[in-house]
Amino acid sequence: MRIALVHYAAPPIVGGVERVIEQQAKVLGDYGHEVLVVCGNEGAKVPVAEMRILPGLKANVALDEAEGDQLYRDLAGALTGADVVLVHNMLTMPFNWTASSALARLSRELTGARFVNWVHDVDVSREAFTALDARVVHVAVSEVRRQHFSERLGVPVSECRLIPNGVDVADALGLTPGVAEFVWQSDLLDRELVLVHPTRVLARKNLEMGLAITAALRDAGTDVVYVVTGAPDPHRKESAAYAERIRESILLNGLEDRVHFVSRDFPVMNADVASLYRIADALIFPSRSEGFGLPLVEAALHRLPVFCSDIPPHREVAGDFAVFFDLASPPEEVARLVLESMGSDQCSTVRKTVMRRFGWKHIFKEYLEPLIKER
């Protein structure tokens, strides 16, 4: 579908509405839609979107009758062929009423497009808004704004949808491009529990225990995913043989959709590991032997709960902050330990809730997609 987003301005202008437009454009593009951004500021640029700069759209400009007619024609040319037109704030704010009136007129005339009045703020009179006679679907960004819109402009609450603003999780967490793409493609934000294991594929790293714990968590009803950073060590022949045993174990235990070796997607650098810490819920580190165990420290710096094998180097490094398990412990017991510890971590629960509720992928699937597909 061809979807147009219209506002007085777009990035690099800094503002809340401008940021929403940029992020809406990105998620719409990610899902294969053709995106057009129509705005008034010279030099505006939104990645993935076609840009149409119409200076007459800018806020706080005075247009004479001829200029207003020209703006109407320019908007008609830009929006013809659009399936959906998302008009952000311009029908409920008084900053350029000539542009607002032109958009309202086009909402009546461009019958092949559905116009959406996206309400971030309200500061016009009921009389002025009614006189627009716009043929639009109303959307407000919060319940408070929906109630305000209804009371101020006389539109029944039932005729105004609620679609919250989202957050670009990858941007907010500063994820590297490789990890951001991995998170998107693997639907990592939708998983209940993300365990990260920064390691090469070596026998002493005990990946089989990580797999067994993952299987036990799955069997306990947890939607868990186990993310391993490394690849087989190219300097060790035995590493390739061990990697094959791990692959067979994954298949045997039906863990294909719950285990990711990130290095298969892209070369993992230190910055990528840090990004994985930021997106994970906990570190799992079941090594049989270590000289130090640096990931224990790194994960703690990222405020991740640390679950590691009870071996002397780990006790020395993380004895005052990690949760330890015996290497001989049944996987079910370790899984229970993980669930009990994670269940008491309120910060982790809040973080996961925010990512799920306000991540743009969720906003798209829950709200945007049904809206733009309606006819």
Residue 188, helix vs strand vs coil: helix
In contact, 251 and 218? CB cutoff 8 Å = no
Can you give the residue range of the structural domain that contains 65?
2-168+359-373
Same domain assignment for residues 353 and 366: no
Which residue type sits at 315? R
Q: Return the closest-CA partner of residue 287 out of 276, 295, 275.
A: 295
Same domain, 200 and 239: yes
In a shared domain, residues 272 and 159: no
Same domain, 155 and 187: no
Check whether residue 134 and residue 217 sit in a common domain.
no
Rounded Cα gap, residues 321 and 306, in angstroms? 8
Residue 337 and residue 213 in one domain: yes
150 and 235 together in one domain: no
Same domain for 155 and 86: yes
**CATH number of the CATH domain containing 330:** 3.40.50.2000
Evaluate whether 314 touches 286 at the Cβ level (below 8 Å): no
Q: Are residues 140 and 247 in the same domain?
A: no
Write out the chain's pLDDT in tens, 375 residues. Answer: 999 999 999 999 999 999 999 999 999 999 999 999 999 999 999 999 999 999 999 999 889 999 999 999 999 999 999 999 999 999 999 999 999 999 999 999 999 999 999 999 999 999 999 999 999 999 999 999 999 999 999 999 999 999 999 999 999 999 999 999 999 999 998 899 999 999 999 999 999 999 999 999 999 999 999 999 987 666 666 778 898 899 999 999 999 999 999 998 899 999 999 999 999 999 999 999 999 999 999 999 999 999 999 999 999 999 999 999 999 999 999 999 999 998 866 667 788 888 888 899 999 999 999 999 887
What phi and psi values does residue 195 have, to the nearest 5 degrees? -100, 130
Residue 342 phi/psi, 5-degree rounding, is: -70, -35
**Which uninterrupted H or E stretch holds 53?**
strand 50-53
Q: Pairing state of beta strands 34-39 and 50-53? A: parallel
265-316: pLDDT as tens digits: 899 999 999 999 999 999 999 999 999 999 999 999 999 999 999 999 999 9
What is the pTM for the complete model shown?
0.84
**Residue 3 β-bridge partners:** 35, 84
Peptide bond connecting 164 to the previous residue in cis, omega within 30 degrees of 0 = no
Q: Give the residue among 111, 109, 85, 78 at the shortest CA–CA distance from 371.
A: 85
Number of other CB atoms surrounding residue 31 within 10 Å: 14
Digit-coded pLDDT (tens) for 216-235: 999 999 999 999 998 766 66
Contact 37, 10 (CB under 8 A): yes
How many distinct structural domains can be found in the chain? Answer: 2
Percent of the chain at pLDDT above 90? 86
Same domain flag for 178 and 65: no
Q: Please check whether residues 207 and 161 belong to one and the same domain.
A: no
Q: Do both 200 and 322 map to the same domain? A: yes
237-252 vs 207-219: helix axis angle to the nearest 10? 10
